[in-house]
Structure 1
């Protein structure tokens, strides 16, 4: 008999059913060993890192049970999750169970084919991946244990108890946005708006003043009386069309979900927190409905592409199936190991195959996004019409004779919906090109114009606008910023959100993230005392890149951790750290 070890007990029965009686499948229930809870648990000696791992309470019970079965098994197959955390769990299991015959098997989907293929092609534990996970864990521990003691003293707040290598960057982003909002002062400005008919062709359309006396109008018109004077003057002037252009623009299908984009979509569409969405995705994965849910790769297996194309061909008219599969690249800029994107295992049963509760709704998102990702691009027609008032009547200092005023209208119409027939994705919609009013442009179909039509002015008025404060982040938009800055990894975003909220540094009100006073005081302290280190997003991004190099075997992890730890300790000493945790531990 061979013993197969997975992380979650929910997988055991399904995988055992695929493998048959010659295999026993058991669960580790996640991590079985970790650094000790009550001290830093790491020694740094002569460029070497010496972590002191301990079995946790659950781990002691699990290892005792697994050892009994492993002793009577001809081989132990470590089939933990296919990421760095999973690789590390496999290594810890091998360390805890002792010398014996091991094999490592990974699969991105819990299907008969995926599991059997993985068991048939085992490999050794990838120590580089294990070292990358160790490096991350130990660096996080060092920052937490070395920096946190300085926070209460430095801020004068007993409840400022903790800092973290990634969580503090996320808190800083939210806090800095809070400061922007506090400093913001609204400003009212005015934009003349004309309603015109061109060449007698209906419908009439609105055009906004975008240029005045040869320069962009922008927000220059800040006096209501002056704005009204401009309008009255324009009413007495000749009007002439000076441009009518149109062109077609493709709207390409978004790629299938990766972890971060799934969390964002689930937050926006389903109002689920990152923790909730990942818990539901984990359930869908363990039930064999989707591929592995922690991934930053948009790559899709060729068989899955063929499955999607067959569905599109059967369910939609022929023009919705592109001649060749769309290309979505392979990985995000900060991708880790090569996984597939998050997708359904099968399209059978349709998007509601997993039910209609939150879990089923998340499955629908994944299902529709995957199918849409393989559909034809949409096509839109964009139109621009410029109308001059008092054409060629103003002498500009550098441009010569110019139109006194230029009013502009924009229109957008859908020529072919393409993938949008299945699902509209707000994150990939064409951005509105107007700086004036998102409600008034790109919402109408402009008449078909040549550009030389006579212009009839129907109405001319003034629209007042007030500048708005920068919006507060939602969990979805903060994840997007963290991903863009290269801070954290897909598997860490949910934990980051949970930490900064649970510790009172950030409050959630109506799904918006508000930095608390405590959070802002702590951020100010960390920026003041740890600038250039973990509190800076660029620094954290470089650390992530170094961890990737460790994972690929291009960077030795122990000298990297020793150097990074020494830098943090030096800053912490200057910030009030009164002891050396490494030296204290080594002296015991």
Structure 2
């Protein structure tokens, strides 16, 4: 008897073959073996004349999909069909998620498998897990297949329906997508906020106080609070009664502080507790790898795929932070071995998914096995070692004790001036001995350790300074923060974020510059058009509701045909038919009358009767009146501004931007000037 086991990749097949041994033949399908036709050449002759054939979905017949075996997969399918005919049993061991379930379904159809199709599912590639999975098979889950088919149909209906409209209105080769367009809208709205933002100046005055020096910040003078960034609106106006000091007032305040003693008015101490972060889900892994390892989401998923297939970590596409009992014990054992028995709490920590219908209730991303291999014992190197070590430390830390500390707030007075110093002291580092969560870093002033001072105590002021600052514009998204924003909004699924970001870059809609995602003029114009004519497509709430509907299809609560009918027939189809093929126009917020549009394949800046090509090297939020004049007068070389999609992959290393797309002037923490007593500046 021979059992044929089909997985997706050759490396996975080789590993699993070794674990199953004789009696099993393990082969790879190399991913999907059937899909909707990608071009007219893939459409079977008997369907070529059908008006819906290019779409690949017969919307008049219950949204019946037309699946074909791509030419590149014909040989693989033929070989697998021959092996299946000789085998006594076929197990479809594709990934344990909706995509994997769909691949298994298409394999069954392409190979002509009869009867109950059996799935072999596992979340880690270890000997125990594979041998157990081979014995505990289950039938194909058609609800999951239906959910994936619905997602694929939605993506095809949106992409093939809206993209040609963009070709006529903006430029050839562009694309729209169900999740892609909502993600682009999120990026562009932030850039438009920056374009409308007006930075306002303010002074921050500090004093160095005490024999054991610490820093205190001036809060008020004569009972009037000094302005901070939260006191200004986006137009740079003060919204309350806060005092915005002039240069002269700031210098006088510094001089005033330097010649007077400081009285401790109040000391407040409050204990704080920080729990360890949950084990990684797909999205939190992408976010943390971006922050601490400087990996893009795509790079993270590529490396994680290798670790999974090598048997080092569990399946890396999951919405759930839960750990199995086995993994919980392994994490606690690893913590105790490394940091002692007091490093774990009495009871194990339990984590639950925060999103609805967490992707088929997978475990978190964690080291594979009943015991966790130390990073030094894996034989890994480079980014694979770094990512494994990150996953190991996060998993172990999730079962360790809390960080315990004390936060101290000292209120001081120097005559008419009230100052405040904030500090924190760690009493027990807890889980931070294994892992420091970079997403939980606090403000700089909170990091200082304050000396033990008493109320009523007089302290010397050793120095004082005033720092000239400007209010910061809303920060651009990084890849990590965009992933976090999309997940929080319920847009897309973690397994899709890497491909979404790659698509946005490949289409030329955004670039990664100094780790920031900077929308291009093309991206902004595409967003303008979609927002004007396909408003629901860029509405994150609508897109999130679509994800919930897909979850309902997966659970059997909603019928696929009914949902697609409502989406297409009652919604998108009519909008597509009525959308005008007129080029979108974006008004430049800071320059009245100035607009950006597309003409003859070029991005063009216009003001009155004057026009000029606008290079993508001109950063959108830096298009001021001066820059507009430079462009229109030809003093700023236009550079490349083609609307053709970029093919540079992630966008890293793309052509530089004017002023290197640096953060808005108001975002600089260090001021240009420092006021001292007597009004000196430097």
Fold match (TM-score > 0.5) = yes
Name 2:7's counterpart in structure 1: 6
Specify the alignment match of 2:268 in structure 1: 245
Match of 1:204 among 213, 235, 241: 213
Shift in alpha-carbon separation, 1:233–1:364, aligned structure 2, 3 A: closer
How far is the alpha carbon of 1:327 from its aligned partner?
A: 3.0
Structure 2 residue matching 1:299: 3-state secondary structure = coil
Deviates more, 1:312-321 or 1:33-42: 312-321
- 1:106 and 2:121 matched: yes
- On the 8 A contact 1:7/1:80 being kept in 2, the answer is yes
Q: Secondary structure at the match of 2:87?
A: coil
Task: Classify the secondary structure of the residue corresponding to 1:53.
Answer: coil
Q: Which moved more, 1:499-508 or 1:236-245?
A: 236-245
Q: Secondary structure at the match of 1:459?
A: strand
Q: CA deviation at 1:342?
A: 0.7
Matching of residues 426-441 of structure 1 within 5 Å: 426-429=438-441, 431-432=442-443, 438=444, 441=445
| Normalised TM-score (structure 1) | 0.89
Tell whether 2:433 aligns with 1:421: yes
Q: Is 2:103 aligned against 1:89? A: yes
Query: Cα distance 1:421–1:182, how it changes in 2: closer, same or farther (>3 A)?
Result: same
Native 8 Å contact 1:267 1:274 kept in 2:
yes
Partner residue, 2:524: 520
Give the match's secondary structure for 1:290. Answer: coil
Distance (Å, rounded) in 2 between the aligned partners of 1:119 and 1:337: 19
For 2:78 and 2:392, locate their aligned partners in 1 and report how far apart those are by CA, in whole Å. 41
Q: Whole-Å Cα distance in 2 between the matches of residues 569 and 577 of structure 1? A: 16
Residue 309 of structure 1: which of 325, 332, 336 is its match?
332
Give the drift of 1:222.
4.0
Question: Is 1:288 matched up with 2:301?
Answer: no
Deviation at 1:449, TM superposition (A): 2.8
Q: Secondary structure at the match of 2:271?
A: strand
Q: Please show how residues 68-467 of structure 1 align to structure 2 within 5 Å.
A: 68-101=82-115, 102-155=117-170, 157-158=171-172, 161-197=174-210, 202-214=211-223, 216-219=225-228, 220-231=243-254, 240-332=263-355, 335-346=358-369, 349-352=373-376, 353-390=378-415, 405-429=417-441, 431-432=442-443, 438=444, 441-467=445-471
Compared CA separation, residues 511 and 573, structure 1 to 2 (3 A):
same
SS in 2 for 1:66: helix
Q: Give secondary structure in 2 for the equivalent of 1:192.
A: strand
Q: Could you say which residue in structure 2 is the equivalent of 1:485?
A: 489
Partners in 1 of 2:334 and 2:255 — Cα distance?
60
What's 1:475 paired with? 479
Aligned-partner Cα distance in 1 for 2:104–2:70: 16
8 Å contact from structure 1 (residues 154, 575) kept in 2 = no
Higher relative contact order (CA 8 A, sep 6+): 1
Q: Does 1:545 align with 2:568?
A: no
Q: What is the alpha-carbon distance in structure 1 between the residues aligned to residue 258 and residue 511 of structure 2?
A: 52
Tell me the SS of whatever aligns to 1:337: helix
**How far is the alpha carbon of 1:489 from its aligned partner?**
0.8
Judged with a 3 Å threshold, the aligned counterparts in structure 2 of structure 1 residues 23 and 468 are, in CA distance, closer, same or farther, namely same
Moved more, 224-233 or 11-20: 224-233
**Equivalent residue number for residue 632 of structure 2:** none
Give the secondary-structure state (helix, strand or coil) at the position aligned to 1:383: strand
User: Is 325-334 or 380-389 further displaced after alignment?
Assistant: 325-334
Deviation string for 1:356-394 (max 9, x for gaps)? 21112111111111111111111122110011344xxxx
| Number of corresponding residues | 549
C-alpha distance in structure 2 between counterparts of 1:21 and 1:235, whole Å: 84
Counterpart-to-counterpart distance in 2, 1:493 and 1:53: 25
182-191 or 87-96: bigger deviation? 182-191
Change (3 A) 1:510 1:67: same
Distance 1:386 1:280 in 2: 50
1:435 alignment counterpart:
none
Retained in 2: the 8 A contact 1:5–1:79? yes
Contact 2:323–2:351 (CA under 8 A) maintained in structure 1: no
Which has the larger displacement, 495-504 or 349-358?
Answer: 349-358
Structure 1 regions of 5+ residues with no counterpart?
391-403, 433-437, 579-588
Range 182-191 or range 207-216, more displaced: 207-216
Looking at structure 2, the residues matched to 524 and 442 of structure 1 have their Cα atoms a distance apart, in angstroms, of 42
Q: Does 1:510 align with 2:524?
A: no
Counterpart CA distance in 1 for 2:255 and 2:447 is 28
Q: 1:576 to 1:14 in 2, by over 3 A?
A: same
CA drift of 1:472 comes to 2.3
State the distance in 1 between where 2:347 and 2:222 align: 50
* Alignment correspondent of 2:597: none
Q: Is the 8 A contact 2:292 2:438 kept in 1?
A: no
Deviation at 1:497, TM superposition (A): 1.1
Alpha-carbon offset, residue 114 of structure 1: 1.3
Could you list the per-position Cα deviations for residues 320-366 of structure 1 after superposition, in whole angstroms to 9, with x for gaps in the alignment? 12212223324545622110111111455412324221112111111
* Secondary structure of 1:411's aligned partner: strand
Q: Distance in 2 between matches of 1:318 and 1:350?
A: 18
Over the residues paired in the alignment, what is the CA RMSD in angstroms?
A: 2.1
SS at match of 2:549: helix
| SS of match in other structure, 1:209 | strand
Which is worse superposed, 465-474 or 75-84?
465-474
Shift of 1:214: 4.5
Distance between the aligned counterparts of 1:510 and 1:406, measured in 2? 39
Change in CA separation of 1:461 and 1:287 when aligned onto 2, cut-off 3 Å: closer
